């Protein structure tokens, strides 16, 4: 069976298969070196099934040509469902899509800790200078220590000569021991 037929069969499994078979097919698709059919991927993503959307985002995030369908990933970052957003954040992280930063920043005000965490983890790879104030303010103001830990990492990884002193001062006063230890890197 040639790779085009295999891709067609795997996409059919994502669309019509059981949840378990869908994820097996998604993982297999990521290892195929041939370009994915854009129209078919888009059509399947548009189906009204959240599990199928997550499988498509997984494929795009892990396929060597996933960036070719950036529109799907960016659309998913605006999706109402937190799980779709989190799947899109994973794709952003894998593909290092910096154009997604502004869409990700919008979800930092979510009430879901896991959604905020996914957003902050993806910002480590999608970071632009415009992210700093939003992430820093979240780090300084959020009451949940888990969120503070999530926010600290992209700040730490994206230190510049313009923001290092603000980060140093915030980390040195942190209740989280690791953040205080990171201050030694700035000395």
pLDDT, tens digit, 9 for 90 and up, residues 110-120: 999 999 999 99
Give the residue extent of every domain in the chain.
Answer: 1-126, 130-187
CB 147 within 8 A of CB 113: yes
CATH topology of domain 1-126: 1.25.10
Tell me, what's the pLDDT at 187? 60
* pLDDT confidence band for 142 (50 / 70 / 90): very high
Tell me, what's the pLDDT at 95? 95
Residue 81's contacts (CB-CB under 8 Å, 6 or more residues apart) are 50
Give this prediction's pTM: 0.90
Q: Which of 126, 155, 122, 125 is nearest to 138 (CA)?
A: 155
């Amino acid at each position: 069976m040639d790779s085009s037929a295999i891709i067609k069969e795997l996409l059919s499994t994502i669309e019509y298969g059981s949840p378990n078979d869908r994820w097996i097919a998604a993982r297999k698709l990521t290892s195929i070196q041939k370009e994915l059919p854009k129209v078919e991927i888009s059509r399947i993503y548009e189906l009204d099934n959240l599990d199928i959307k997550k499988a498509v985002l997984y494929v795009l995030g892990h396929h060597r040509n996933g960036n070719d369908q950036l529109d799907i990933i960016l659309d998913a970052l605006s999706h109402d469902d937190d799980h779709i957003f989190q799947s899109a954040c994973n794709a952003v992280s894998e593909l290092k899509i910096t154009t997604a930063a502004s869409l990700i920043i919008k979800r930092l005000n979510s009430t879901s800790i896991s959604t905020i965490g996914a957003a902050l983890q993806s910002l480590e790879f999608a970071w632009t200078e415009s992210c700093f104030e939003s992430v820093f303010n979240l780090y300084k103001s959020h009451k949940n220590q888990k969120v503070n830990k999530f926010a600290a990492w992209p700040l730490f990884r994206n230190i510049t000569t313009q923001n290092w002193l603000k980060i140093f001062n915030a980390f040195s006063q942190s209740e989280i021991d690791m953040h205080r230890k990171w201050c030694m890197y700035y000395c």
